[in-house]
């Protein structure tokens, strides 16, 4: 399955006004995890009020102890500061990596911008070494833009 096939499904989820924001975000996580074989943990982190930390939002996958992540810590915390995509082909090679599970081999984090401000991110862990391509980055940027429209 190509990632582009999922785009209309993302748009459908986003437009389901009868669902809460968190319900729609969870549906997006479920869609991605179920349809992309190497997306093994899919979740959202959002800036926690005025604090310089991220708070875990809806996700699917193994439970995590990392419900709060300080800015600068781990891949997610680094994206909160850099405002740039971060693709990690091999988490073992990262000095500033927060291990969620011993099975995770790679991670991709894409920021979500609302009115030019980084308000959160989508975080995907993979149990497959180096699975993420430029197509994943572009697709997840699309997902983040759709989510940003929900939050505005």
Model pLDDT, residue 109: 97
Q: Which pTM does this prediction carry?
A: 0.95
Cβ burial 56-94 (10 Å sphere, 16+ → b, else e): bbbbbbeebebeebebebbbbbbbbeeeebbbbeebeeb
Under 8 Å between Cβ of 68 and 53: yes
Total count of domains within the chain: 1
The domain in which residue 48 lies consists of 3-151
Per-residue pLDDT band at 99 (split at 50, 70, 90): low
**How far is it, in rounded angstroms, from Cα 88 to Cα 86?**
6
> How high does pLDDT run on average in the chain?
94
User: What is the number of other CB atoms lying within 10 angstroms of the CB of residue 6?
Assistant: 18
HSE, CB side, 13 Å, CA atoms: give it for residue 29: 24
Distance of alpha carbon 131 from alpha carbon 125, whole angstroms? 10
pLDDT digits (tens, 9 = 90+) for 120-150: 999 999 999 999 999 999 999 999 999 999 9
Number of neighbouring beta carbons within 10 Å of residue 129: 12
CATH number for the domain spanning 118: value is 3.30.450.40
pLDDT above 80 for 101: no
């Amino acid at each position: 399955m190509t990632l582009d096939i999922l785009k209309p499904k993302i748009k459908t989820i986003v437009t389901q006004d009868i669902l809460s924001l968190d319900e729609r975000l969870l549906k997006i996580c479920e869609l991605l995890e179920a349809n992309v074989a190497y997306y093994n943990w899919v979740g959202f982190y959002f800036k926690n009020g005025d604090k310089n930390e991220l708070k875990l939002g809806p996700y699917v996958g193994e439970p995590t102890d990392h419900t709060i992540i300080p800015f600068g810590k781990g891949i997610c915390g680094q994206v909160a500061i850099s405002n740039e995509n971060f693709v990690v082909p091999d988490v073992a090679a990262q000095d500033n990596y927060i291990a969620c599970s011993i099975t995770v081999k790679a991670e991709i984090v894409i920021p979500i911008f609302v009115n030019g401000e980084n308000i959160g991110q989508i975080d995907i862990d993979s149990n497959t070494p180096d699975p993420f391509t430029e197509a994943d980055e572009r697709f997840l940027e699309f997902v983040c833009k759709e989510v940003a429209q929900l939050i505005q």
